[in-house]
């Protein structure tokens, strides 16, 4: 029995956390304690970050936790446990601290038909998808192993990931619907025989339940597609007699404290945490359970949260930020658009002879920036690969001309450090804008274009 098969056997026996089966996906290392327990983690530069709680018998959790913490310390690493529930907090009292990072919606599948009858808005979403021709079906394990359906699911996932503002994340947020396909359940949404979305569920054996790990749809899939996929999974789970089902953690939802409350308020431009929570809430879960990050008492909360972010980022936060910037996120494009407004006003009132060598160059730059800002705002309202490319070309021209003008004329007339700083910013800003816009053209806008092309082509 190889290592992953050994972990699979433990998951089938003791898998209680929703994250247990996820640890069979690529990228995890395993700490075995005896023959009947393990801890699955990813190693960052400074820490071992665990996916959920130890996979062990309930009465062994505290012992396994202590052994893992000691092993990490002996290796010169910090450690923390991500997406834990109250069971680990109670079992490890005195050894671990915990900070709440979100909450997890839970459905009792047999209650789902009553939920649908009680909420007209849910029934209406399902009706809309059916009226548009969306049909849901379960995929066989053989189809997940190889063939056109697997390829179509992968293509939907790739296009969906490409449209996100941030670079694809790692650890518990990796989209991988194919590991151990015989143990998964996958449903696809089809429109005219074409896959436009999928839902992939993984088992939570110790709860007689399932975790709907991936819920992905094409950008142009009809309204109600996602709700129809959730409905299909819950209807199937009810028929199978399942006792528990979740859609996973809603990060920063519910009662947050201190720095996490500030993070929720200040990070909306990066990720729509409230929108994700609202989507899950409108599906009327039976209850919500708190989700935590747990860490040794000798370790600080902030450094533990930083280790968690490093794990989700794939190890390097700066590298992840650079990859995200290269995708042309809406938040950055919006910032450039708004910053161009006061900048253009400053150009309009600046002395023409001193800074531009005449009125004609000055008003050329003013008009150019007005057109560029207008294009950026339009791109945010109606994403278009063609417009993004045109704006990227314009920003590149702006960067080259600004640098040339500054070298020949402007920099020599800057009389003090503040003016020189402004000139440097004026040169760097269009270069950064061009980089972001070329990235948007290459990734997110191309994905939207591909989705629209795919929507017009029905496979034979």
Assess whether pLDDT exceeds 50 at residue 457.
no
Distance separating alpha carbons of residues 388 and 434, to the nearest angstrom: 10
List residues bridging with 409 in a β-sheet: none
Assess whether pLDDT exceeds 80 at residue 191.
yes
pLDDT at 424: 81
Question: 3-state secondary structure string, the chain?
Answer: CCHHHHHHHHHHHHCCCCCCHHHHCCCCEEEECCCCCEEEEEECCCEEEEECCCECCHHHHHHHHHHHHHHHHHCCCEEEEEEECHHHHHHCECCEEEEEEEEEEEECHHHHHHHHHHCHHHHHHHHHHHHCCEEEEEECHHHHHCCHHHHHHHHHHHHHHHHCCCCCCCHHHCCCCCCCHHHCEEEEEEECCEEEEEEEEEEEHHHCEEEEEEEEECCCCCCCHHHHHHHHHHHHHHHCCCCEEECCCEECCCCCCHHHHHHHHHCCCCCCHHHHHHHHHHCCCCEEEEEEEEEECCCCHHHHHHHHHHHHCCCCHHHHHHHHHHCCCHHHHHHHHHHHHHHHHHHHHCCHHHHHCCHHHHHHHHHHHHHHHHHHHHHHHCCCHHHHHHHHHHHHHHHHHHHHHHHHHHHHHCCCHHHHHHHHHHHHHHHHHHHHHHHHHHCHHHHHHHHHHHHCCCCC
Q: β-strand 209-217 against 244-246: which pairing, if any?
A: parallel
Calculate what percentage of the chain has a pLDDT beyond 70.
93
pLDDT tens digits, one per residue of 30-66:
999 988 999 999 999 899 999 999 999 999 999 999 9
Assess whether pLDDT exceeds 50 at residue 452.
no
Do 103 and 291 form a contact (C-beta atoms < 8 A)? yes
Average pLDDT over every residue of 280-289: 95
Assess whether pLDDT exceeds 80 at residue 163.
no
Higher pLDDT, 65 or 351: 65
pLDDT at 235: 96
Confidence of residue 371 (pLDDT cuts 50, 70, 90): very high
Poorest-confidence range of 45-49, 81-85, 138-142, 262-266?
262-266
Assess whether pLDDT exceeds 60 at residue 175.
yes
Q: How many CA atoms lie within 13 A of 209 on its CB side?
A: 23
CA distances from 305 to 50, 295, 301 (A): 12, 9, 6
The domains of the chain are located at 3-101, 104-288, 330-442
Residue linked to tokens 């098969």: 5
From 308, 315, 263, 257, select the one nearest 78 (Cα to Cα): 308
From 176, 171, 174, 169, select the one nearest 48 (Cα to Cα): 171
Distance separating alpha carbons of residues 231 and 136, to the nearest angstrom: 9
Q: Give the number of other CB atoms < 10 A from CB of residue 51.
A: 24
Q: Give the number of other CB atoms < 10 A from CB of residue 206.
A: 18
Distance separating alpha carbons of residues 2 and 39, to the nearest angstrom: 16
Q: How many CA atoms lie within 13 A of 269 on its CB side?
A: 8
Do 254 and 277 form a contact (C-beta atoms < 8 A)? no
**What's the mean per-residue pLDDT of the chain?**
87
Q: β-strand 47-51 against 78-84: which pairing, if any?
A: parallel
What is the CATH architecture of 104-288?
3-Layer(aba) Sandwich (3.40)
Confidence of residue 451 (pLDDT cuts 50, 70, 90): very low
Q: CA angle 438-271-198, nearest 5°?
A: 90
pLDDT at 449: 52
Assess whether pLDDT exceeds 70 at residue 90.
yes
Q: Give the number of other CB atoms < 10 A from CB of residue 134.
A: 23
Do 86 and 289 form a contact (C-beta atoms < 8 A)? yes
Q: β-strand 96-107 against 250-251: which pairing, if any?
A: antiparallel
Distance separating alpha carbons of residues 408 and 403, to the nearest angstrom: 9
pTM of the entire structure?
0.83
Distance separating alpha carbons of residues 354 and 349, to the nearest angstrom: 12
Do 7 and 30 form a contact (C-beta atoms < 8 A)? yes
Do 171 and 311 form a contact (C-beta atoms < 8 A)? yes
């Amino acid at each position: 029995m190889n290592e992953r098969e050994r972990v699979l056997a433990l998951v089938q026996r003791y898998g209680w956390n929703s994250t247990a089966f996820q640890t069979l996906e690529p990228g995890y290392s395993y700490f075995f304690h005896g023959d009947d327990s393990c801890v699955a983690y990813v190693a960052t530069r400074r820490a071992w970050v665990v996916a959920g709680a130890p996979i062990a018998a309930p009465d062994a959790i505290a012992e396994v936790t202590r052994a893992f913490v000691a092993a990490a310390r002996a290796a010169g690493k910090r450690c923390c446990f991500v997406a834990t529930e109250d069971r680990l907090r109670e079992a490890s009292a005195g050894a671990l601290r915990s900070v709440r990072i979100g909450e997890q919606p839970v459905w009792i599948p047999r209650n789902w038909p009553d939920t649908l009858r009680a909420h007209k808005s849910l029934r209406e979403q399902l009706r809309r998808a059916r009226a548009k021709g969306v049909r849901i079906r379960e995929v066989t394990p053989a189809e997940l192993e190889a063939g056109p359906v697997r390829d179509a699911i992968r293509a939907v996932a790739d296009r969906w990931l490409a449209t996100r503002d941030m670079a694809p994340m790692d650890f518990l947020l990796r989209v991988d619907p194919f590991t151990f396909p015989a143990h998964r359940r996958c449903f696809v949404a089809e429109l005219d025989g074409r896959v436009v979305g999928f839902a992939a569920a993984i088992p939570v054996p110790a709860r007689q339940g399932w975790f709907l790990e991936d819920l992905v749809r094409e950008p142009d899939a009809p309204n109600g597609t996602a709700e129809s996929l959730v409905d299909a999974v819950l209807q199937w789970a009810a028929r199978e007699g399942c006792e528990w089902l979740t859609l996973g953690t809603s990060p920063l939802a519910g009662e947050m404290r201190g720095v996490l409350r500030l993070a929720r308020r200040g990070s909306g431009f990066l990720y729509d945490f409230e929108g994700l929570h609202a989507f899950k809430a409108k599906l009327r879960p039976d209850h919500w359970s708190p989700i935590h990050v747990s860490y040794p008492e000798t370790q600080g909360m902030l450094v533990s949260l930083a280790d968690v972010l490093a794990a989700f980022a794939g190890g390097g936060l700066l590298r992840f930020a650079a990859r995200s910037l290269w995708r042309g996120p809406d938040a950055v494009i919006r910032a450039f658009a708004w910053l161009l407004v006061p900048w253009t006003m400053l150009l309009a009132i600046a002395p023409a002879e001193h800074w531009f060598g005449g009125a004609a160059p000055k008003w050329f730059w003013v008009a150019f920036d007005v057109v560029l800002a207008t294009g950026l705002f339009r791109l945010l309202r109606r994403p278009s690969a063609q417009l993004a490319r045109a704006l990227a070309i314009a920003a590149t021209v702006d960067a080259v001309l600004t640098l040339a003008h500054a070298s020949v004329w402007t920099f020599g007339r800057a009389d003090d450090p503040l003016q020189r700083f402004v000139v440097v910013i004026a040169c760097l800003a269009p270069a950064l804008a061009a980089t972001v816009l070329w990235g948007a053209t290459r990734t997110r806008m191309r994905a939207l274009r591909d989705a629209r092309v795919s929507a017009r082509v029905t496979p034979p």
